[in-house]
Amino acid sequence: MLDGKNILLGITGGIAAYKSIFLTRELAKLGADVKVIITPDAEQFVTPVTLATLSGNPVLSSFVPEGAGGLWNNHVELGKWADLMVIAPLTANTLSKLASGQSNNLLVATYLSATCPVMVAPAMDLDMYAHPTTHENLDKLRHHGVEVLEAAEGSLASGLSGKGRMQEPEEIIEAIRHHLAPTEQLKDKRVLITAGPTHEPLDPVRFIGNRSSGKMGFAIAKQALRLGAEVTLVAGPVNAELDHPRLNRMDVKTAEEMMAAVAHCYGEQDILVFAAAVADYRPKDVSNQKIKKTPGDAPVIELVQNPDILKFVGQHKKPDQFLVGFALETDQEVQNARKKLDNKNLDMIVLNSLNDAGAGFEFDTNKVTFITSKDVVEIPLKSKDEVAVDIFRQILKLHAES
């Protein structure tokens, strides 16, 4: 299952490290090429000989190993070599180093320079795990796109019982397989995504806009590409890059331009996800010249309604098309989102909460609830990349049921 995959396994100094011996053996058995990096403290719990034997590779523990004739372990190369870096167990100490960008051992320096995706499985005593600092540090990692495999409840090395156990090796392997498995679940499917804000011009230099960064929409596009889809991404003005042979990106500025781009291609799509924060109104008149300041006089800007792109597509939707809208509500959230589901003829609404820290515009994380005519599924705070994974998991599940 993991044939040809390069996995960099980081092991830090906690009692759960003994389970990483099994993890190393299983990953190697599944066909992965495993290189293990251990911190100096981890050597008190597991020996390099065991890990080198099971992984089939020398264990890496220092920048310049003794007896290597001055040859150094290139942490930059390690991060480039890996398809995935997994740190299991992750102690509170190494977590704080990762969160603050330290680079004083080979493992944390490799993390800091790694360009591959990173997954961590924290393990510590319950009070350490419950400490606000630990939460802040884990949230920081999530913000940086790290997948955190939350610690589990159970008995701990201290004799106490609570949340802090590293996830079992089988669960970590499942998460790794899910992350790396070449999934083609959306092969030959066409997915249309709208992303970012719209800018509605007042004059050649000014516009009415909003703070949408486009991060959620781009994360959805990335995940659709990962699942093998042909993706059309209609993006408002954003600072986000995405390049892929199966991606057709259409950059627009205004709601009317977005409407035109969507109208052009919505008919041929299988799944449509509207994550753009489209301005509901635009200035009625756009001045050809920069509007001048007239002392003592404040101009009044008359607005007109923009087309509701999602509603238009809902009205023209074919039975086999799956239509997803986003909703940002501030009160009676679920009730209002349900109304929108009906009014716009949607199959699913992704409800964004403005009331949760770390969720919404400009953040790298989001906290959403999936609403369909039958279900309300609340998802905890996650990175936008992980939310995108959940969105397609939900879509594929609903598609399979229909």
Distance of closest approach, residue 371 Cβ to ligand C5P, in angstroms: 12
63 vs 312, beta carbon nearer ligand C5P: 312
129 vs 274, beta carbon nearer ligand C5P: 274
Distance of closest approach, residue 164 Cβ to ligand C5P, in angstroms: 39
For residue 43, the one-letter residue type is: E
143 vs 249, beta carbon nearer ligand C5P: 249
109 vs 324, beta carbon nearer ligand C5P: 324
Q: Which range, of 86-94, 114-122, 276-284, 377-385, touches ligand C5P by CB under 6 A? A: 276-284
- Please name which of 381, 377, 21 lies closest in space to residue 172, comparing C-alpha atoms: 21
Distance of closest approach, residue 392 Cβ to ligand C5P, in angstroms: 16
- In this chain, which of 111, 266, 274, 322 binds ligand C5P, going by CB under 6 A? 274
- In this chain, which of 42, 191, 220, 278 binds ligand C5P, going by CB under 6 A? 278
Binders of ligand C5P among residues 20 to 79 (CB under 6 A) are: none
- The yes-or-no answer on residue 288 being catalytic is no
Provide the mask over 300-339, with x wherever binding to ligand C5P is found by CB under 6 A and - wherever it is not. Answer: ------xxxxx--------------xxx------------
**Residue from 6, 57, 74, 210 carrying the catalytic annotation:** 210
CA distances from 174 to 33, 171, 178, 180 (A): 17, 5, 6, 10
Contacts of 218 (CB under 8 A, 6+ apart): 195, 233, 235, 238, 240, 242
Distance of closest approach, residue 182 Cβ to ligand C5P, in angstroms: 30
Q: Tell me if 252 contacts ligand C5P by CB under 6 A.
A: no
Q: Vertex 62, ends 60 and 67: CA angle to 5°? A: 90
Distance of closest approach, residue 39 Cβ to ligand C5P, in angstroms: 45
146 vs 327, beta carbon nearer ligand C5P: 327
Binders of ligand C5P among residues 165 to 194 (CB under 6 A) are: 194
Distance of closest approach, residue 202 Cβ to ligand C5P, in angstroms: 18
| Number of chain residues interacting with ligand C5P (CB under 6 A) | 15
23 vs 262, beta carbon nearer ligand C5P: 262
Query: What is the set of active-site residues?
Result: 210
Sites of contact with ligand C5P (CB under 6 A):
194, 255, 274, 276, 278, 280, 306-310, 325-327, 340
